[in-house]
Amino acid sequence: MIKFVLKNDKSYFVIRRGISMLLEFIFKNSFSYKEEAYFSMEAVKGTSIRNEFDKIGKHRILKSAIIFGPNASGKSNMIKSLKSFRNLILKNDIQENPYPTYAGNEDPIFYQIVIYANNNIYRYSVSYLKEEILQESLEMEKNGDFEIYFQRKKMKYPILPDELKPLVNKTRKDNLFLITAKTFNDKPSLAVFRWFRNRLIFISRDTPPLLNQAYKIHKNIKEKEKLLNFLKAADLNITDFEVVENNSISFHITGGLDEILSLSKRSRGLKGYNMTIRHKAFDGVNDNGQFSLDLSAESDGTKKLIALAIILVSYNNSTILIDEFDDSFHVELSKAMIEVFNSNKQSNQFILTSHELALMDSGFKKEQIYFTEKADRSTTELYSVYDFKSEENRQDYSYVKRYQKGMFGAIPEILVGKLKESLEE
């Protein structure tokens, strides 16, 4: 039996000041999303919800959200769209980035995001073609309303602070003005750029444990104790771990936390790391024995949990997107992790995708549950439980039961007979 206990007298994670969170993401003509899609991490006005951070002005920011839907319905493409937006900003050359339009069309891609960073709320948007930025704007919220800081229409700048006007000639048609301004230490532009670079983290089923970060934790007694307490509480029979350097080439991190997670870039001369996990052993008489396994020999679920635990211990005030969250996890462990995500024991914000219906009833409120569905069997629609009329929004019985009755759509149409027929000779 999996047991995961949150102890009120002990915090596994340190919550630091300086919250940086996602409030809203709007996107269009990106991957399987042909029409405009809207995703919000704000609590609905007038609702009672515990799964949120402290109120920031008029905004109540949610700690988590989860997206359900059939296979190939576009759940992962919502995450890919935000990741594409991030890549556009970090690489700053649209011609060097993939152009993930719906069905390969030549219409503009549109991305818009609202974030809280450096004690300000920013709204940044961009519309672009494969070789040209069409529109770009950065706004800041003041007294509850957004005011335009700069606005760009192709190579024209209708609104621009005087101090940024000399930078216009330094920005090519295929480059973002945000990056030019950031390079010259413009504070609002820097805040948005740093949020994308440092506070936006992506995890997929292929994310390996972060051995470079695990090595740092292993060398810090206090941090190591936190990580071990977490892994022990997850009922993995882990008693200790060791991370040692080796002389092999390791992965070099150059572009922020996403690169830390993907570990995709190699660099010469960097040391690698080996991680060994010690487990409790039972010899039939007592359980005082131990055995060790190399990390590579551990199950996919154990490796994934270790990676997630390292992130929880190491990072805070970040927005973490986990694709196929429940993959390789027991449903009770998945539920326990969601309880952790929504607790005051950690300060990150989580956005998950999942196929596990049981997670709908894991303490989520209606504005935290999203669905993806192919509108005409090709384009994706994204919507939340909150979008349905009030009688379907009742809080007094299971979301799963309502979903299974077809109240929320997003149910796969599987032709079992055709599946069988396809196997006939």
| Residue corresponding to tokens 């219409």 | 107
Task: For residues 65 and 38, give the distance between their C-alpha atoms in angstroms, rounded to a whole number.
Answer: 13
Please list, in sequence order, all residues whose beta carbon lies within 8 angstroms of the beta carbon of residue 247, skipping any fewer than 6 positions away. Answer: 271, 272
Would 181 be classed as within a structural domain? yes
Helix (H) or strand (E) segment spanning residue 419: helix 416-421
Tell which of 255, 285, 314 closes a domain. Answer: 314
Q: Are residues 303 and 369 in the same domain?
A: no
Shared domain for 131 and 230, answered yes or no, is no
Residue 139 maps to a domain:
yes
Same domain, 126 and 175: yes
Counting Cβ atoms within 10 Å, is residue 153 exposed (0-12), middle (13-18) or buried (19+)? Answer: middle
In a domain, 8, yes or no: no
Residue 9 within a domain: no
Give how far Cα 10 sits from Cα of 5, 16, 272, 342, Å: 11, 16, 33, 16
Domain annotation covers residue 126: yes
Angle at 406 between CA 401 and CA 407, to 5 degrees: 80
| In contact, 65 and 385? CB cutoff 8 Å | no
Q: How far is CA 112 from the centre of its chain?
A: 16
Among residues 314, 347, 378, which one ends one of the domains? 314
pLDDT for residue 97: 80
In angstroms, the CA 115 to CA 21 distance is 6
Q: Say what the pLDDT of residue 392 is.
A: 52
**What's residue 393's pLDDT?**
57
CB atoms within 10 A of CB 249: 13
The pLDDT of residue 14: 37
Distance CA 287, CA 317 (A): 39
Asked if 90 and 256 count as a contact pair (C-beta separation under 8 A), the reply is: yes
Task: Kindly state the tokens that stand for 370.
Answer: 């999203």
The reply to whether 119 falls in a domain is yes
Give the end of a domain, one of 250, 282, 314: 314
Contact assessment for residue 397 and residue 407, using Cβ atoms and an 8 Å cutoff: no
pLDDT score at 400 = 83
Are 139 and 248 members of one domain? no
Residue 261 inside a domain? The answer is yes
Same structural domain, 232 and 267: yes
Q: Is 386 left (phi over 0), alpha (psi -120 to 50) or beta?
A: alpha
281: enclosing H helix or E strand: strand 272-281
Q: Are residues 155 and 32 in the same domain?
A: yes
Segment-wise mean pLDDT, segments of 10 residues, the chain, 425 residues: 41 50 97 97 79 82 95 94 96 81 94 96 97 97 96 98 97 96 98 96 70 87 92 88 73 41 40 85 69 87 88 90 92 93 90 95 92 87 87 66 81 70 70
Answer whether residue 341 is part of any domain.
no
- According to the model, what pLDDT value does residue 31 have? 96
pLDDT score for 73 = 92
Six-digit token string for 257: 């936390």
pLDDT at 388: 85
The percent helix, strand, coil of the chain (3-state, each to 5) is 30, 30, 40
Q: Are 76 and 178 contained in the same domain?
A: yes
Strands 380-384 and 120-129: unpaired
Same domain, 129 and 232: no
CB atoms within 10 A of CB 283: 8
The number of angstroms, rounded, from the C-alpha of 85 to the middle of its chain's C-alpha atoms is: 13
Same domain, 155 and 295: no
User: Which is it for the CA torsion 210, 67, 109, 182, positive or negative?
Assistant: negative
Answer yes or no: are the C-beta atoms of 77 and 84 closer than 8 Å: no
> Is 27:37 a contact under the CB 8 Å cutoff?
yes
Structure tokens at 113: 């995001």
Domain shared by 181 and 212, yes or no: no
Residue 249 is predicted with a pLDDT of 44
Residue 69 sits in the same domain as residue 176: yes
Taking CA atoms, 137 is separated from 71, 89, 94, 151, 412, in Å, by 35, 13, 17, 4, 39
**CA-CA distance, 294 to 385, in Å (whole number)?**
44
Q: 90 and 194 in one domain?
A: yes
3-state SS, 221-262, equals: HHHHHHHHHHHHHCCCCEEEEEEEEECCCCECCCCCHHHHHH
At residue 271, the pLDDT reads 63
Domain extent, residue 252, equals 208-314
Q: How many domains does one find in the chain?
A: 2
Provide the 3-class DSSP secondary structure of residue 191: helix
**H helices within 263-373, ranges in order?**
300-314, 331-341
